Amino acid sequence: MQALSPLDQASINAIRFLSVDAIQKAKSGHPGLPLGFAPMAYDLFARHLRHSPKNPYWAGRDRFVLSAGHGSALLYSLLHLSGYDLSLDDLKAFRQWGSKTPGHPEYGHTAGVEMTTGPLGQGLSTSVGMAIAQKHLAARFNRPGFPLLDYHIFVVVGDGCMQEGISAEASSLAGHLGLNNLIVLYDDNQITIDGRTRLSFSEDVVQRYEAYGWFCQSLQGDGHDLDGLDQAIAQAKAQNKPALIKIQSIIGFGSPKQDSSGAHGSPLGDGMEATRKALNWPYSPFEVPSEVYEHFSRLQAAWAKEEADWNQLFAAYAQAHPDLAKAFKEAEKNQWDVSLLDQLEFKVGEKIATRQASGHVLAAVMPKSPNFMGGSADLTPSNNTHFPGAEDFNAQEPQGRYLRFGVREHAMGAIINGIGLSKMLKAYGATFLSFSDYLLPSLRVAALSKYPGIFIFTHDSIGLGEDGPTHQPIEQVGYLRALPGLVSFRPADAYETREAWRFALNHQGPVCLALSRQGLPVLDQTKLGSATQGVARGGYILSDRQDFQVLLLATGSEVSLALEAQKRLDQAGTPARVVSLPSVELFEAQEKQYQAQVVPPSCKQRIVIEAGLIRGWEGYIGEQGRFIGMRSFGASAPAADLFQHFGITVEAVVRAAQEMVSA
Amino acid sequence: MQALSPLDQASINAIRFLSVDAIQKAKSGHPGLPLGFAPMAYDLFARHLRHSPKNPYWAGRDRFVLSAGHGSALLYSLLHLSGYDLSLDDLKAFRQWGSKTPGHPEYGHTAGVEMTTGPLGQGLSTSVGMAIAQKHLAARFNRPGFPLLDYHIFVVVGDGCMQEGISAEASSLAGHLGLNNLIVLYDDNQITIDGRTRLSFSEDVVQRYEAYGWFCQSLQGDGHDLDGLDQAIAQAKAQNKPALIKIQSIIGFGSPKQDSSGAHGSPLGDGMEATRKALNWPYSPFEVPSEVYEHFSRLQAAWAKEEADWNQLFAAYAQAHPDLAKAFKEAEKNQWDVSLLDQLEFKVGEKIATRQASGHVLAAVMPKSPNFMGGSADLTPSNNTHFPGAEDFNAQEPQGRYLRFGVREHAMGAIINGIGLSKMLKAYGATFLSFSDYLLPSLRVAALSKYPGIFIFTHDSIGLGEDGPTHQPIEQVGYLRALPGLVSFRPADAYETREAWRFALNHQGPVCLALSRQGLPVLDQTKLGSATQGVARGGYILSDRQDFQVLLLATGSEVSLALEAQKRLDQAGTPARVVSLPSVELFEAQEKQYQAQVVPPSCKQRIVIEAGLIRGWEGYIGEQGRFIGMRSFGASAPAADLFQHFGITVEAVVRAAQEMVSA
């Protein structure tokens, strides 16, 4: 290990002290990682990353992901010095209301932050999605002499990320797929919040990653061996596997609390002065020696040159491969041709499960949407996610667009997020709605960060039948509706499914589709309210009656039940309106007037019908309304028996309506 | 590999055909695993398990867990033959309404089913909890000559379980803890629903488990090598590590669909006859040759003998170690001394975070509750879960009761479940409320199966402050409330926390506590409604005013805000009642009369105050009420700033109340 040059040393210390000064000022934050890992992160930025601080979304850039998001101050310091739109004042506003420097990095909030991190494991796993996107795009667009997209994804992870199950799932898949564009720096500092990692974590991480099919290296030098890292990265780039570089840094390096859990998550406080002394840093808070700024200016010039070269390359590429260049630009628009859906017609009255209808949508859309990938967490035949001409994406065939996630729901969620972060591709993934729980943390990050991505959740109720309550969702639709930033649909038939997809394709944020296992009659678009008009508004009048006395609100598979009840109520002389509410979130985002038109506040005799729980529906039900749905977990039996036993029947609706009007 | 004896062969085929006949009759189910894995499962039951079919919860029994729960028919066939309370008619009612043989095994529903399985990975991970419980109980109760609790946990897992992240977390911890009482049979049949496992899963599982510190063996013989399994189990039992035995069985063995994904999840249909022929099984559906029943009768006699011997051993133990025997019986009662809480007093007005109050509860309870274990997913100092005299549970000190779960929330959930399944121990675990998402699938199984267990979720709102929206829960309290079978609390102060714990300790099902990071004033029990009376009822009148015009309903940290608003409203001449609702579920389980007394239907001017989302509160708010809470994700800033910016303030409540009364 060579000694650090004075300039490297000064730069590293500038990063360290910008970080701990920000934390000190905020009286909150995590100094341990910035102090310990600054040399490695500096090396990455100064000697490896190709990026464009003035054009942060440049398609050709390397990606830097701080999966250990609690070390945000480290990232902000690097972004500031690298010339991103992040001033010294922004650093001084660390963790304050309205600042660009929140406690954990937030995508879309701060230039240069490639993804939202903090919930452990999400960063590494989402990076696997980024790596899949790179591999696919490179296969599609690179040509001899035109390595347009040869970027790498560099990820910094800590012990926490390595312990999370989602990382295990994603890393196993990354090994399987041979994602050699993924280089993970594992900060094995031996300390977690509870104390030494050995309290709970004594596995051989390197051996585990080798078992996944990764190329693993271990660095000496307490996290200060810049040349060693350079060599390790060069080695990693030469492999046909993802790479793990284990680095035993010293948490809180230079501070009185170094190498202890005390260094992890609290400002140094009184230890600030001792740290300045130990690291020989005579500068005042937030002071950066001019030679460091100058050094980074030179780096910025070099980065700008690389981008300019790339632009020249692209211009030549446009000459040599005009169609590809056009397709490239098209992909960058990140738009989907929803007119492909117009051709999809369904036969009225025919029973088609909405999961099947979704399969028809994919059959119509996917062959003509090269920028769209997707798959299933090993439920392809059940989720109806395959499409004509689909080829599996894998190490040998990165041009494939069908994703075999394996039985790894959580990693699937993160990977969908990561693919969407390419801004050139979008992805869908699928599992049973009941198992949406397994990927909820990824869905939450997507909702918070407005990642595009489509989540297909089939078998959306007790309609799943015999597999029983472990597989029957009851609460999940409510969960999805409650998550701000996520739009969920529970379509009533094939047409509503088509229209939900129309919305989903071009929505700039995550969308969920809750789809039925069982066949549902195709509704007559000529006689009933139009799905084409209604679904995008979240809810609409599906079937009306003059002077209706009862309002039936239903979603998904219960909509046709409501229509059946309406007929029976007609016979009984009780006119009822049927409202379909495929997306409660979108409906509630409409202007009040429209909402009142569909669900008039004056009509108190309302029945909500959904084979899920009541929670969330109370506002629609009001004080006089009724709920026909689930009040407990489901059970194992044929679906028809279950609807009967749980009282979700036409008879129950009719009875409730008649009780209400005669009350 | 020796040839199977005719009796073994007949027994194995009886198991196979009982299973596929049940599936055929149900027109639904998973024949692949029963056909392929019957020999190994038979071997376990016939030659290894110590258990008591007539006394299924015998403390000394080995545990058999079918983590691959979709193979339920295999388990039911074995339970039937072994003499559990499961008749041939029960097998014939497989997957039908009200039967004892649901699609996936359900704990508490079918004698001999040790846990609910089906959601992949839960079985293996919950088994790790079982193994921890065994280790701890053995350390406590076994004495030289008295190996009372030397049972093993045998687990059958498939590829799906091995791909799930939760299994990775739990297996890593099992290796760390050296749980050599855990013997996992990995049915590596190379097939998943999507096709060959190699589509998505090519890691070296054995190497991975060796990295975790497991003892790994691979069997030859396509899942038919009974003697090989016997030797492997003997080897496994001789180690000081958990054991993985990899078995390459052939899915759907003997059927026309064998070794294909077609064999996994659909009845054999037309293939039934061919399967009977291939396996040389001339019997009609559900017919079991008498020699097989006789064989199992002999096994039952041997098992009964083992239990009788154990009872004798226990009688001698009671003589030799009367105190221990008494403690053993005490543990089996599964009751907790809540009077330990009575001594806990708090100083009125002092600011104590409810997480701190919870820490005080643990300090009072844990030292005197030997049957209670607990810990944190590496957030011990933040979750306040440590207690005086706590020793870590680990391989060297299995008598320790403090659990270092590591950064493994999902495994923690399953492990809490597994410890509770001992029926002699109960466990608590903790993380931030925001990360309750990570363990939701385990919480769901607990709620469905009524596993006891206490989940401490601290940092329960934007009150968490600077760490920002990734760490600030907004939707989670609503999620927990929505889950049937789970009781959640969001206590307002130290006393409500104490009372929530009082409920939790003796509740026979999972309980969650959502606790504040920030200090909350201790409420005056002498002047306000009594937490001791009120918390167990879920909600109560905390502070009343004659002829109140406004009802303020609040939970957790917002209760003291409501009290403050009440005072201000007094000054403004608007009397308000304050209701604290620490547990919405318990409140809604009270008789209607009590509910109406606390929240009179006649009072429409209601304000719900909670630093979470509105969803779920609509019924309380009604058509004229207001909501003071979150409408979006949080942000990174000091907590006080956040409450201000998101409008959760005394002023906002007062303003809303005055607008309502003057409207």
Q: Give the tens place of pLDDT for each residue, B312-358.
A: 999 999 999 999 999 999 999 999 999 999 999 999 999 999 999 99
pLDDT reported for residue B98? 97
Say whether pLDDT at B2 is over 90: no
A104/B166 CB distance under 8 A: no
Is residue B114 over pLDDT 80? yes
Q: How confident is the model at residue A2 (pLDDT cuts 50, 70, 90)?
A: confident
Residue B294, classified by CB atoms within 10 Å of its CB into exposed (0-12), middle (13-18) or buried (19+), is exposed
Asked if A418 and A127 count as a contact pair (C-beta separation under 8 A), the reply is: yes
- Record the pTM: 0.98
Domain range summary for chain B, segments of one domain joined by +: 6-304, 338-521, 537-662
pLDDT at B286 over 90: yes
Query: Would you state the pLDDT for residue B354?
Result: 98
pLDDT tens column, A49-67: 999 999 999 999 999 999 9
Mean pLDDT confidence for A335-361: 96
pLDDT band at A285; cut points 50, 70, 90: very high
pLDDT digits (tens, 9 = 90+) for A187-244: 999 999 999 999 999 999 999 999 999 999 999 999 999 999 999 999 999 999 999 9
pLDDT at A125: 98
Which residue in this structure is represented by tokens 């805000």? B561
Mean pLDDT of A124-149: 98
pLDDT at A3: 86
Interface test with B, best of A70, A166, A194, A624 (most B CBs within 10 A): A194
Contact assessment for residue B170 and residue B125, using Cβ atoms and an 8 Å cutoff: yes
Cβ contacts (< 8 Å) between A405 and chain B: which residues? 200
User: Is there a contact between A193 and B483 if contact means CB atoms under 8 Å apart?
Assistant: no
How close is the nearest chain A Cα to the Cα of B632, in Å?
A: 6
Cα separation, B398 vs B180, whole angstroms: 12
Q: What is the pLDDT of residues A141-183, one digit of tens each?
A: 999 999 999 999 999 999 999 999 999 999 999 999 999 999 9
Q: Which is the catalytic residue, given B409, B499, B558, B610?
A: B409
**Closest Cα of chain A to B5: distance in Å?**
35
**Band (A457; pLDDT cuts 50, 70, 90):** very high
- Report the CATH fold assignment for B537-662: Rossmann fold (3.40.50)
Mutation for testing the A interface, residue in B470, B595, B613, B631 having most A CBs under 10 Å:
B470
**Half-sphere exposure of residue B127: CA atoms within 13 angstroms, side-chain side:** 35
Structure tokens at A356: 């099947």
pLDDT over 70 percentage in chain B: 100
Structure tokens belonging to residue B210: 């060796």
Element (H, E) at A244: strand A243-247
Work out the pLDDT band at A261, boundaries 50, 70, 90: very high
d(CA B555, CA B548): 20
Mean pLDDT (chain B, rounded): 97
Categorize the per-residue pLDDT at B599 as very low, low, confident or very high, splitting at 50, 70 and 90. Answer: very high
- Res. A1: pLDDT tops 80: no
Which amino acid, B222? D
> Is A210 a known active-site residue?
no
- Do residue A166 and residue B166 have CB atoms under 8 angstroms apart? no
Q: In what order do the strands lie in the sheet with A182-187?
A: A63-66, A153-157, A182-187, A243-247, A215-219
With a pLDDT cut of 70, the percent of chain A lying above it is 100
- Cβ of A199 within 8 Å of Cβ of B392? The answer is yes
DSSP code of residue B46: I
- Range A370-397 average pLDDT: 97
Instruction: For residue B203, give the nearest of A116, A176, A205 by CB distance.
Output: A176
In three-state form (DSSP H/G/I as H, E/B as E, the rest C), the secondary structure along B259-293 is: CCHHHCCCCCCCHHHHHHHHCCCCCCCCCCCHHHH
Residue A250 CA to residue A188 CA, distance in Å, equals 9
Contacts of B613 in chain A (CB under 8 A): 482, 484
- Confidence grade of residue A342 (pLDDT, cut at 50, 70, 90): very high
String of DSSP letters for B166-186: HHHHHHHHHHHTT-TTEEEEE
Of the partner residues B201, B411, B618, the one whose CB lies closest to the CB of residue A406: B201
The predicted structure's pLDDT at residue A408: 98
What single letter denotes the amino acid at residue B579?
Answer: V
In the CATH scheme, what is the code of domain A338-521? 3.40.50.970
pLDDT of B557 strictly over 90: yes
pLDDT score of B578: 98
Partner residue facing B469 (CB), from A98, A441, A448:
A448
Short-list A86, A88, A93, CA closest to A113: A86
Measured between beta carbons, the chain A residues lying within 8 angstroms of B208 are 207-208, 211-212
Give the containing element (helix H, strand E) for A234.
helix A226-237
Q: What is the pLDDT of residue B317?
A: 98
pLDDT > 80? residue B1: no
Of A103, A202, A637, Cβ closest to residue B176: A202
Q: How confident is the model at residue B3 (pLDDT cuts 50, 70, 90)?
A: confident
Alpha carbon distance, N-terminus to C-terminus of chain A: 86
Assign 3-class secondary structure to A321-373: CHHHHHHHHHHHHCCCCHHHHCCCCCCCCCEEEHHHHHHHHHHHHHHHCCCEE
What's the average model confidence in pLDDT over A37-46?
Answer: 98
Q: Are B511 and B504 in contact (CB under 8 A)?
A: yes
The whole-angstrom distance between residue B338's C-alpha and the CA centroid of its chain comes to: 22
- Residues B250-279: pLDDT tens digits? 999 999 999 999 999 999 999 999 999 999
Find the CB nearest B405 among A26, A98, A200. A200
ipTM: 0.98
Chain A nearest-CA distance from B174, in A, is: 10
Say whether domain B6-304 belongs to CATH 1.20.210.10: no
Model pLDDT, residue A663: 81
User: A6-304 with A537-662: one CATH topology?
Assistant: yes
Tokens standing for residue A28 = 């909150």
Q: What is the pLDDT of residue B201?
A: 96
Q: What CA–CA distance (Å, rounded) separates B598 from B587?
A: 10
Cβ within 8 Å, pair B471-A103:
yes
d(CA A400, CA A398): 5
User: pLDDT class for A572, splitting at 50, 70, 90?
Assistant: very high
* Rounded to 5°, angle at Cα B143 from B137 and B144: 145
Residue of B nearest to A163 (CA): B407
d(Cα A72, Cα A62) in Å, to the nearest integer? 19
